[in-house]
Structure 1
Amino acid sequence: MSTALHAPQAATPGTEAPRLEARGVTVRFGGLVANKDVDLAVGSQQIVGLVGPNGAGKSTLFAVLSGLLRPTSGRVFMDGEDVTGTSPQKRAARGLARTFQHPELFSSLSVREHLVLAYRMKNAKSRIWTDLLNFRGFASSPKAEDQRVDELVESLQLGAIQHRPAAGLPLGSARLLEIARALAREPRVLLLDEPSSGLDVRETEEVAEVLKSVVRDHGVSLLMVEHDVELVLGMSDAVHVLDFGVKIAGGTPAEVRRDPAVRAAYLGEEIEKPAVQRAEAEIEQGELA
């Protein structure tokens, strides 16, 4: 495959390079190919969904994009610059943040203290150690910090629980807190790992509305791995579908919904599905497994 095919998308006058982009990403674990030649781009203030059956390679691609895993081949770009070899910390400094399927919170800290800590990790890291050494905890917040935390509390609908400890929070509230904590670090791109996992219908609808407001009010781009396909199709600007590590479809929600290969992957329909058939043929030949 030629190098030109997987060059980063150049920004033309009046446009921006994608905030986050995978070009030709392949990941091999011995004889197993978890991702094969995957392309994906997240533009400015876009919501992009990444879906696929269990074992399709979604988590592996997420790990590559966040810097936790180096691809066997292919490149990752942020704002048109190659970040394939950079650490998760350096990508975070460039504006990449992520949440996890199981919220990782400090049980003894309040909701608000989580946001203060995240804000200081980005904007005033030295204050964290100074306050701890002086036993001041999270007291004496400067005005700019208070304003930013207040904005997040309001926009993520956390006002009623902002002084509650994280221990014992309902799962829906814990997910909103984790999203707010990621936003406190002022990212340009937010990777969301199964934001609706374990939530009931009401909680899922609440999280979906919050995510749309995050893009609208904070100017953030979202890439989410999600098992709830209808949720993704209902709120995304673009959707990418993986199966057997191969991207079998990508486009608008309407285009993806109509795609025969997607229906075959999810519903097992006996219809013409060239991308899936190619993937299955490669498995038989030992290329993907």
Structure 2
Amino acid sequence: MSPTATDTTLPRIEAKGVTVRFGGLVALDNVDLQVPPASIVGLVGPNGAGKSTLFAVLSGLLTPSSGAVLMNGRDVTGASAQSRARRGLARTFQHPELFPGLTVREHVVLGYRVRHTRRRIWTDLITAGGFRSAAVEEDARVDEILAALHLSGQADQPVAGLPLGTSRLVEIARALAVDPNVLLLDEPSSGLDARETDELAATFTRVVADHGVSLLLVEHDVDLVLGLSDVVHVLDFGVKISAGTPAEVRADPAVRAAYLGEGPEGNTA
């Protein structure tokens, strides 16, 4: 099945009863989460809540102790990260993983070719010969993504030495170039200033509206998540303590207790 040929009624990715144990430590305890088509879903929680562990399970880097991961209704719990990528999953990392010797544009070209001309990746990376020729469609799509993330002016710069915020935008651009149907974003606004964060939020909204991509967003910037997301899930010590619309989550006493140390009546514990 093509990564973009999906059932429009099924979650793009779903965790069902996911539990992860590291020895005697329960990092995730029976967690459920769904990312519907063409939606933005937020995942928040205090440090150590289990957000990164759940991301690792969803992306195929970690096998859960129990529970299941489904993509478009198909069980992929035992599938590799590469297999999930072929089904339409892409992700970014908390610390950008880039090739120092390549330019900004070449990273986006690589992302595009992973989806459209995978056989060229070897020559692209090893000999750089593949970068000298491109189809019209490739150039147009790469230019579109660079412009959307305000990277056109740095397109020909090597990524080595770029500020953290710009490096993060390059990684997001490369992930979007794969044309995923679900994109997992790990702290995408880290290192960005307020203006860049606002521009990134607008880009995410356009991507969902124009291309039907689903986004799962892990962020310490809770206001950004609440402002962007259709649904927000909240983890605390590996347990999902709340899920709902941003307004519902903002008003949930359990969320206030997890973040602010307030008791059930709003008093500091």
Residue 246 of structure 2 is aligned to residue 253 of structure 1:
yes
Residue 202 of structure 2 is aligned to residue 209 of structure 1:
yes
Residue 67 of structure 2 is aligned to residue 74 of structure 1:
yes
| Equivalent position of 2:157 in the other structure | 164
| Equivalent position of 2:174 in the other structure | 181
Q: In the TM superposition, what is the alpha-carbon distance from 1:97 to its structure 2 partner? A: 0.4
**Alignment RMSD:** 1.8
Look up the SS of the partner of 1:216 in the other structure: helix
Q: In the TM superposition, what is the alpha-carbon distance from 1:32 to its structure 2 partner? A: 0.5
Letter of the 2:156 partner, please give it. H
Letter of the 2:183 partner, please give it. L
Q: In the TM superposition, what is the alpha-carbon distance from 1:76 to its structure 2 partner? A: 0.6
Look up the SS of the partner of 1:138 in the other structure: helix
Q: In the TM superposition, what is the alpha-carbon distance from 1:54 to its structure 2 partner? A: 0.5
Partners of 1:63 and 1:115 lie apart in 2 by 23
| Equivalent position of 2:121 in the other structure | 128
Partners of 1:30 and 1:132 lie apart in 2 by 40
| Equivalent position of 1:117 in the other structure | 110
Residue 37 of structure 2 is aligned to residue 44 of structure 1:
yes
Q: In the TM superposition, what is the alpha-carbon distance from 1:36 to its structure 2 partner? A: 0.4
1:26-72 residue CA offsets vs partner (Å, 9 max, x unmatched): 11111110000101000011110000011111111110000111111
Letter of the 1:24 partner, please give it. G
Alpha-carbon contact 2:100-2:159 (below 8 Å) kept: yes
| Equivalent position of 1:145 in the other structure | 138
Letter of the 1:98 partner, please give it. R
- The total of aligned residue pairs comes to 260
Residue 99 of structure 2 is aligned to residue 103 of structure 1:
no
1:140-187 residue CA offsets vs partner (Å, 9 max, x unmatched): 112222122122122222211111111222322222211110011110
Alpha-carbon contact 2:120-2:130 (below 8 Å) kept: no
1:88-121 residue CA offsets vs partner (Å, 9 max, x unmatched): 0000000000001111112221111111112122
More off after superposition, 85-94 vs 162-171: 162-171
Alpha-carbon contact 1:46-1:221 (below 8 Å) kept: yes
Residue 203 of structure 2 is aligned to residue 197 of structure 1:
no
Partners of 2:117 and 2:214 lie apart in 1 by 24
Look up the SS of the partner of 2:10 in the other structure: coil
Letter of the 1:112 partner, please give it. R
More off after superposition, 118-127 vs 217-226: 118-127
Q: In the TM superposition, what is the alpha-carbon distance from 1:199 to its structure 2 partner? A: 2.6
Alpha-carbon contact 2:40-2:216 (below 8 Å) kept: yes
Look up the SS of the partner of 1:108 in the other structure: coil
Partners of 1:185 and 1:80 lie apart in 2 by 21
1:110-138 residue CA offsets vs partner (Å, 9 max, x unmatched): 11111111212222122233466776251
Partners of 2:120 and 2:24 lie apart in 1 by 48
Q: In the TM superposition, what is the alpha-carbon distance from 1:192 to its structure 2 partner? A: 0.4
| Equivalent position of 1:3 in the other structure | none
Unaligned runs of 5+ in 2: 1-6
More off after superposition, 153-162 vs 33-42: 153-162
Identity of aligned residues (%): 69
Alpha-carbon contact 1:76-1:82 (below 8 Å) kept: yes
| Equivalent position of 1:6 in the other structure | none
TM-score, normalised via structure 1 length: 0.85
Letter of the 1:248 partner, please give it. I
Q: Which structure would you say has the larger Rg?
A: 1
Partners of 2:240 and 2:120 lie apart in 1 by 45
| Equivalent position of 1:21 in the other structure | 14
| Equivalent position of 2:85 in the other structure | 92
